[in-house]
Each structure stands twice: as structure tokens, then as C-alpha cells.
Amino acid sequence: MHDVVRDVAIYIASEGNHIFMVSHDVNSEEFPRKDSYEQYSHMSIVANKFDELPRPILCPKLKLLMLKLCSGYPFKLQEDFFYGMGELNVLSMTGGTYMYSIQTFPASIQRLSNLRTLCLSDLTLDDISIIGELVTLEILSIRNSNLEELPVEIGKLTNLILLEFWNHLGELKKVLPGLLSRLELWNELEEFKRIPTGVWSEQGELKRISPGVLSRLVRLEELHVVGVRHCSYSTLRELESLSRLTVLTLDECSEDVIYSNLVLSSKLTRYILHVGGVGIEDSSMDNYSKIIALEVTETAPLGDWICHLLRKSELVHSTGKGSENVLTELQLDEFQNVEYLCLEECDSLTHSLNIYCQNNIPFPKLERLEVSECGGLQYVFCVLLAGESSTAACPDDDD
């Protein structure tokens, strides 16, 4: 069935001037079978075994090349492998396992003067500095590369609109100072991602973002910083320069940011803010556009920017003894936007929702309420309406 669907898709896509070639489970005896593939505009190749280095092929019309190399040992492509692909716009290269894959790029990759998108996945890359010569790149995605640093040459890619670095395999030790500040044309930066907690090794994290990097990316509209352990107040202060920001993801910020004051872009329409060790279900990421999850271990007043985001949030998850302050801020707006509220580990909490309704209907959008490990809780709701009060008590553990 898979082959039938694939063949039908290729037939439909090949109508017009597009000619596709899809070859799976090939080896060095089968590919390349000839020196020229002049008619093809799109090629997808999955190679399982290469007893010899794949030789260059002539593909003067090729716009897209997807190459998956499932070799059982590390190898190199021939230096002139890309010579005959001058019109290539999209290049995707994937290894079967990062331990047995391409180690260095062929020098001919710098001849791809029309390349707009480069995706690299599961490749053991010793050095990617040559990518800095691909100045036409707009999208660069690097996953599971086992790199130790993002080289300074990447700063030449001033046409980038999206950079994705997702490293599951080891520690990216540093981003060289001044690197990201040179990429001033980015509209989106999906900077660093990681796999879920529990799968990471102790070294599998990016330690920090170099000072002064974010503040210079003044054209950013989307910023995603995920898996940076020490995303502190000094780092977030740089966001004040990003007046065009509409989408923001901050993961595992240090707790000091909760009690600090910042001024973020007024154009934010989507955000995910994750402070401390609070987990968020993956499904929730898709269902809500404004998410805030806080580990609040202190009872100090919350920062103005946190209060502002809380009152606009659709999903609020708060854990720790400072959760009372979170509720206080939500009550000021009568829970007008909250759809999903989760409270944990706050023994001083005596009631979850206590609100005086004057003009608005309280919590008009609330669909889901979760309260756990709040030993002092007496009432779930305590609502005051025109001088009257009503409560909904918590059941005893024996009930």
C-alpha cells in the first residue's frame, strides 16, 4: 500500500515540468547508475550501503535533493559530489545513526549558490564552518549533530529567516560571542530545543546565550529559546529591544525572572513561558496559544511582566508556596481568559477561586481545574455576588 500511495503521489506531482525520482534501499551498485540525471527536478534517495564513495552526478535541473545515508560505518562524500547541482534550492541530508554518517562536508557544497534551505540530521559533523559560504541560505536546520560549538562563520548567513539547532546527542559547549548578533534579518529564531526531561544526559544542554546576542536581533518576530539552562533575568532584559516580537517561547528560565520587571513587546499574540521544573503536557501546547507555567517557591510579589502575561493566559500552571500570588493576579481580572488552571504544592492556599463579581461573569472560559498537594485547601470556590457569598467545600479524604 505504501508503494501504491507513493507512486500515485509521484505521478500527480510530476504533472507539468516537475520530474521526480524516489529510490529507497539503494546501494553503491545501484546509485548512481549513470553520470547524468538531467531530467529530474526533485530526488529522494535512501541509501543503505556504500562500498565506495558516491561519485558526482550531473543534475542541472535539480531543485530539491533529499539524501538519507544509512551506512554502517562513517564515510565521506567525494569532494566534488555537488558540482553538477548548481540550481539546487533545498538540500536535506540525514544519517541513519549519528555514529555512522558523514563526518565532513564535501568542499563542493560551497558551489551551491542558489541554496535556500539546508537541513542536516543525525550526522556526526566535525566542522560546519564551510556552511558560512552559503550566503543565500534562508533556512538552516541542524539536528543531532554532536557539535561542540556553532562556529563564527555561521554569522555570515545574514539572509537567514529561520535557524533551528536541536541537539539530543551531546553538549553544544558554546555559541561564539557576536555570532547571532550578525544575523540581523531573522524573522524567526527557533534557537535551541531538547528532548523531554529524563532522557537527557547531564551534559546534554546548552549552558547560556552570549550576552548582547538577543538585543541585536531587532527584526525578530518569533523567538524560541528552549533548553538553555541559565536563561536568567539578564538574558531576558535583552527582549525589551524586540519590539516586533509576536511569538515567544522561553523554556526553563531561572526563578529570579518571576520577581523582576520587564517590558515586553505589546504585539505578543502567542507565548509559552516555562519557569523552573513545572512540566507541561505536549497536548496542551497545541490546544492553547498563551501558556504560562511557574514554579513559585517564594511569596515575594510577582514582576509586572509576569502579572501582565498571567491575566492574558489561557493555560496557567503554578506550583509552590507562591501560588497564592498567582491566584491574586488572576482574580484582579476575574479569570476572564483562563481556560485551564492547575495549582500544586501550596499548603497556605485555603481556597482556589475567591472572587467578587461586580461587572463580569467570573471565569467565563474555565474548562479545567486541577488542584493537588494543597493541604490547607478548605474551599474550591468562594464567590461573592452582590453581597452574598457561596462556597463549594473540598471533600474529606475519606469521602
* pLDDT, tens digit (0-9, with 9 covering 90-100), for 318-369: 898 888 888 878 877 767 899 998 888 877 776 556 555 555 666 788 888 8
Q: At 40, phi and psi to the nearest 5? A: -85, 140
With respect to residue 43, please indicate whether it lies within any of the assigned structural domains.
yes
Query: At residue 343, what is the residue type?
Result: L
With respect to residue 398, please indicate whether it lies within any of the assigned structural domains.
no
Domain that holds residue 155: 2-393
The region of weakest confidence among 17-26, 147-156, 184-193, 196-205 is: 196-205
With the CA atoms of 337, 342, 346 and 350 taken in that order, what torsion angle do they form, in degrees rounded to the nearest 10?
60
Res. 169 pLDDT band, cuts 50 70 90: very low
Contact predicate 122/143, CB 8 Å? yes
Q: Per the structure, how many domains does the chain have?
A: 1
With respect to residue 399, please indicate whether it lies within any of the assigned structural domains.
no
What are 187-213's pLDDT values in tens digits? Answer: 444 443 332 322 233 344 444 565 665
Query: At residue 80, what is the residue type?
Result: D
> What's 283's domain CATH number?
3.80.10.10
What average pLDDT is seen over the chain? 72
Candidates 200, 206, 188, 249; CA nearest to 224 is 249
pLDDT of residue 327: 81
The region of weakest confidence among 36-40, 173-177, 286-290 is: 173-177
With the CA atoms of 268, 274, 280 and 286 taken in that order, what torsion angle do they form, in degrees rounded to the nearest 10?
20
pLDDT of residue 397: 46
